[in-house]
Chains A and B, each alone.
Chain A
């Protein structure tokens, strides 16, 4: 396949979703990745598909639709990636008013939100500390195993005539005449009028290579993984500081907890966020804070052993909205990037927005708020 209809750079979940949507729309697709499938940001993600943490607005609209598209994707390629509508519970430790106000706004925007009182809350999560007496339940919040998802979606793409080449580093993007002509890689040159930049944390580099620019920066997050335990935690449980953090521009470290059990029996504790570039070193203090917050939510976790910790780099744009759409400087270059901690959840929705625009159909929502144009206006 020397001249596919579209080339997707990036074999993570963003690229895989785009490749599938384009393939299903009848295009021949080539996926290139310098590493293996799901070797970058996707491989370090928890697999969150959340609506609970998003303010009403375009991102929530995208998240709601994308969440349903995840289940469509499962029907399409098979039940291979542990997709589960696990449900999320957000609790407030101190003041519950902001949490309830936030929930009310989300309900108005179409999110399934259920306020739960003391008894109900502890029926849902029997080991939650008795100190917390109310919360909000989000049945739509879901979970998948993102590496398996990317792999099985790409497998479907291959079976439907697409091509996936891993270990292929893109060296140059040919944009003569202000529009995309093709790519040069160390595994061959390919021409195509459409290139999708789905390279996560490295999306800014690909944009630069094509002669455009995109301000995507990494944000570091740690995830703690415990030894396998009996089923102690049934949902994704957040304290409500998390909702505040996602929308924050404060560059200092903030921690707030998300605790959840997995099918493998391990318990994941996550959500520390720290914007310090690509320094990947372990920070003992962050581990301590995450552990302290998790055990204060669930005292039973005190005796559970921490087995390992890993870090993910979440790519984000300055305004914390994803960048989805055609580049305003280079015609034929499309971006699906900057989803921050929500890249897994928003991947199929982003893919559908891009595909609809490429094949000239009306997308399910106005894609304008996500357009890369917002960062490229001055230069254009």
Chain B
């Protein structure tokens, strides 16, 4: 039996490939619906989702195939909180609707995706400041518009569909700011030329945005926020929501727990290392999609297919060239975490400021992000450093006039638990004799 963790583009493609080959598959996902973050949709009105997704027909086809696939078992509303490899088998401990179950699998495919990368700025903790992913999830998953007047900023192609979705749903986009210049694609033209469908997708969004009279401005970012405005390039823009995203960070927690080798990608994110067959250094443990490096849904689907035992061929190479281009065109400059005012909160769970982090270095002898965390509690709160970990590392390294080492980045991606579990449920596992 193959266990696939995550039901987004990579996970679903892996499930389809594996079941077509006659394998029994269990797919585990935290949502009640198939599709993951990327193809998030309203449960009842799947057809309405077309307007919110550029390529939803691809998703629709996969959903239809998999929902009628007798070899597939679905664990929805389920989170793997812990995993072990025992002999040749994997033991996955799963919270399914809050109750713990154990699943034993011969092969595991991690398709755990990524989450938004956040970089602090003065005012980023005000209500109304969020990531584009959160605004998108509210809209696609719950049909809720996050605000009436929205500023969208950051970098990467993802801000285009978010702006389009919000505009189409009735929000006024009062500012759309891409920090990087798209002319950088000129130096990565092959990435575009090999993937003409991506150009078509971009024009699709731009056309829709034009219809709503939304203009993209390049080279600008949200410098600070108040409760009712964003400051961009010295100008105050009145708004009720500011969605800022700086690309994505792969979710590698389970890979780390299972002892898989992690690496650092060219964009500085921590990724799961895999071979051409998407297998990690742990026999039988595979990874596909964003967890192996941010590359978009097309590459994720191809990687998923390969992990599920299918073929990739040239399409994988083309999509990989595009993914490499993305990282070059939309870099997140390290200047963003430099020069932040001392009082800027960096870890919002524990309310730790940049000044406190620097003091722990100057006064207490912290020499790494790890000790700075021990002294200040930065990264020790509810999110366990998923939001702030990388920023803390950058700030510590910057203050020490160093570069963040790969080993520190990888250590920052290691977490002992993949999801929280209640102490009651955890202890009850003893009686269940797992």
Contact = CB atoms under 8 A, between A and B. Distances in A.
Interface of A: 11, 35-39, 43, 147-148, 151-152, 154-155, 164, 166-167, 224, 226-228, 264, 269, 281-282, 284-285, 287-289, 291-296, 301-310
Interface residues of B, number: 36
Nearest to B374: A147
Interface string B358-383: 00100111111011001101001110
Ranked 9 nearest A-B pairs via Cβ: A302-B424, A292-B427, A151-B364, A305-B420, A291-B426, A291-B427, A36-B367, A36-B371, A37-B365
B235 interface: no
Contacts of B201: none
Contact of A36 (B350, B370, B416, B420): B370
B415 to A, nearest CB: 7
A295 B365 contact: no
21 contacts: A36-B365, A36-B371, A39-B370, A147-B371, A147-B374, A147-B375, A155-B364, A282-B257, A284-B434, A287-B82, A288-B426, A289-B427, A291-B424, A294-B427, A301-B424, A302-B422, A302-B424, A303-B423, A303-B424, A304-B423, A308-B417
A284 B371 CA distance: 27
B365 A155 contact: yes
Contacts of B93: 284
Contact of B416 (A37, A154, A293, A308): A308
B367 A302 contact: no
Contacts of B45: none
B84 interface: yes
B384 interface: yes
B219 interface: no
A309 B416 contact: yes
B370 A307 contact: no
A293 B428 CA distance: 11
B429 interface: yes
A264 B377 contact: yes
A288 B377 CA distance: 26
Contacts of A264: 350, 377, 380
A284 B84 contact: yes
A166 B365 contact: yes
Given A288-B427, A306-B417, A43 B82 contact: no
Contacts of A228: 381-382
B335 interface: no
B430 interface: yes
Contacts of A288: 426-427, 429-430
Interface in B223-253: none
B421 interface: yes
A284 B82 contact: yes
Interface of B: 82, 84, 93, 257, 259, 350, 360, 363-368, 370-371, 374-375, 377, 380-382, 384, 415-417, 420-424, 426-430, 434
Contact of B423 (A35, A37, A301): A301
Nearest to B81: A306
Nearest to A151: B364
Nearest to B434: A284
Contacts of A167: 367
Q: Interface centre among B84, B371, B377, by most A CB within 10 Å?
A: B371
A322 B360 CA distance: 31
A155 B362 CA distance: 10
Contacts of A301: 423-424
B114 to A, nearest CB: 21
A204 B259 CA distance: 29
B416 A310 contact: yes
Contact of A306 (B368, B370, B415, B420): B420
A259 to B, nearest CB: 10
A8 B361 CA distance: 21
A38 B371 contact: yes
B430 A292 contact: yes
B423 A291 contact: yes
Nearest to A285: B430
Contacts of A224: 423
Q: Interface centre among A36, A154, A155, A302, by most B CB within 10 Å?
A: A36
Contacts of B384: 307-308
Contacts of B367: 35-37, 166-167
Contacts of B363: 155
B420 A227 contact: yes
B371 A43 contact: yes
Contacts of A166: 365, 367
A227 B423 contact: no
Nearest to B368: A36
A282 B422 contact: no
Q: Interface centre among A164, A269, A305, by most B CB within 10 Å?
A: A305
A151 B434 CA distance: 43
B272 to A, nearest CB: 18
A151 B350 CA distance: 20
Given A155-B365, A282-B82, A38 B374 contact: yes
Contacts of A36: 365-368, 370-371
A63 to B, nearest CB: 25
A301 B428 CA distance: 13
Nearest to A287: B426
A228 B370 CA distance: 21
A306 B82 contact: no
Contacts of B423: 224, 226, 269, 291, 294-295, 301-306
